[in-house]
Structure 1
């Protein structure tokens, strides 16, 4: 039986791994198929305008730049990946931490497309499902490929943490965090 701390560590690992696999796919897609990668600085710009109450933009590219928007966007990208990994484990159950299932991982990965299609793209000026973009179908397919690759990443990262991740390292981290060991 896994402790809550062990579950959290595993979900973090899965989220980081799945997001990294999604990013590797983006690099491959750009090199092999000339599909441009997402610009996460624009996500950072969008988030950076929120404290002033500006949640929607006609065009996020035309909005004033925000200090640190690049790093902010990348951090947000990986945090969202961890949140979606928690969704994967919630939907598929703790079984995903010991015996991951590809179909559940792909289903959750593809289902997460709702977030950019109906929240991010409209709020950043691209319209629902990128309908305001010059080629909405191309943008939609790019999003679908990205989220499908995230689903593949969920499965592989879950498989790695279930089969390869040394439990002794995980146990040591949990012990230190619980005050049972020395500090790093």
Structure 2
């Protein structure tokens, strides 16, 4: 069990860190905004009070103390949980002899978590349907999750 937790943490952090570096690269080269982790933190902070959906949009919700830290922490916790999914499905032995396909499958399947849980909950609609450019946002989501998968695979190569 310790090995499972240890590997999930390292692989999840590795995948999430590469995703963050990707976002920084897109900001630097293309001027794209980085993800609004403070808003994600605001959304998560409302959950203990029963606020799971913000129809008015999370930017219109009142600010929350430490929302940026909460957003960053949840970003990495979710990355670790997604890495744990790889290990649950393919076993801890996957980390010792990783192949890319399992990481890619989980990376692509987890796009659905953003499209059907996070984005509607934050008031952006299902699959970014209320975003200014929904198809651009969807493409960024898919590419980002592929980058996350590459990061999980690379982290597994390093730690396995």
The number of aligned residues is 159
Partner of 1:109: 107
Q: Match for residue 83 of structure 1?
A: 81
The higher-RCO structure (CA 8 Å, 6+ apart) is 2
- Show the counterpart of 2:129: 131
Q: Is the 8 A contact 2:115 2:127 kept in 1?
A: yes
The equivalent residue for 2:53 is: 56
Residues 12-32 of structure 1 show CA distances to partners (whole Å, capped at 9, x for unaligned) of 111111110111111111112
Output the TM-score relative to the length of structure 1: 0.83
Q: 2:9 aligns with which of 3, 8, 12?
A: 12
**Where do 4+ consecutive residues of structure 1 move more than 6 Å?**
none
| SS across alignment from 2:158 | helix
Unaligned 5+ segments in structure 1 are 163-184
Q: Please, which runs of 5 or more residues in structure 2 have no aligned partner?
A: none
Q: Which protein is richer in helix relative to its size?
A: 2
| TM-score of the superposed pair, with normalisation by structure 2 | 0.95
Pairwise CA RMSD of aligned residues? Answer: 1.0
